[in-house]
Amino acid sequence: MEQVSKDVKNIVNEWLEEGYLKENDIFVIGCSTSEVAGEQIGTSGSEQIAAELFSGLEILKKEANIHLAFQCCEHLNRALVVERETMKAFNLDQVTVIPSPSAGGSMVTHAYEAMEDAVVVETIKADAGIDIGDTMIGMHLKPVAVPLRFQQKTIGQAHVTLARTRPKLIGGNRAKYPNT
């Protein structure tokens, strides 16, 4: 658990140092706690690993003043756990389900229980995100995702992929663009 804690802290610090996140951004998290433990996705979920990851991500939420969205596994059609406040602020569509380790996954189950007023929503268009253990968060990112290369490439034994989004560039070669 010490390694998991250290790894998530390193990634959170890199996110904060790079300045990619803006106030009120939505940050999506896909996570296989099985992969973090070095096992095959969906085979060895861990509440302990989920709690450790959630603690680190809560720091990111508070420091960057962002919204977190935790992606459920395929058994819940990749729905997302968010706080009710986030659902209302972004006019998201709520669905009726309570995640469990076998339907949703250990990470979202922990998030659902740990958040102040958690709900499950069907879809989201996030500004940035982290994929811990190759869970495929792309469907929940805005259309132009930009992969990021951080020094910390794993959490525990899980491969980590990070991305932010940017607005589409339109107008062709005569258009001028701000730095994005």
Residue 81 pLDDT exceeds 80: yes
For 172, the token pair is: 């062709």
Q: Confirm whether 179 is domain-assigned.
A: no
Q: How do beta strands 26-31 and 67-71 pair?
A: parallel
Q: What is the pLDDT of residues 126-152, one digit of tens each?
A: 999 999 999 999 999 999 999 999 999
**Domain limits at 22?**
2-166
Q: What is the pTM of this model?
A: 0.94
Side-chain-side CA neighbours of 14 within 13 Å: the count stands at: 16
End-to-end alpha-carbon separation of the chain, Å? Answer: 37
Q: Confirm whether 63 is domain-assigned.
A: yes
More confident residue, 107 or 1: 107
- DSSP code at position 168: P
Domain of 28: which CATH number? Answer: 3.40.50.10360
Label residue 97 by pLDDT band (50, 70, 90): very high
Q: Confirm whether 26 is domain-assigned.
A: yes
Q: Confirm whether 115 is domain-assigned.
A: yes
Q: Confirm whether 128 is domain-assigned.
A: yes
* Number of domains making up the chain: 1
- Minimal CA–CA distance to 82: which of 72, 95, 91, 69? 69
Report the mean per-residue pLDDT for the chain: 95
pLDDT for 180: 61
Number of Cβ within 10 Å of residue 49's Cβ equals: 28
In one-letter notation, the amino acid at residue 115 is: M
Cβ–Cβ under 8 Å, residues 33 and 107:
yes
Q: Confirm whether 97 is domain-assigned.
A: yes
Q: Confirm whether 151 is domain-assigned.
A: yes
Residue with tokens 């663009």: 177
Q: Confirm whether 147 is domain-assigned.
A: yes
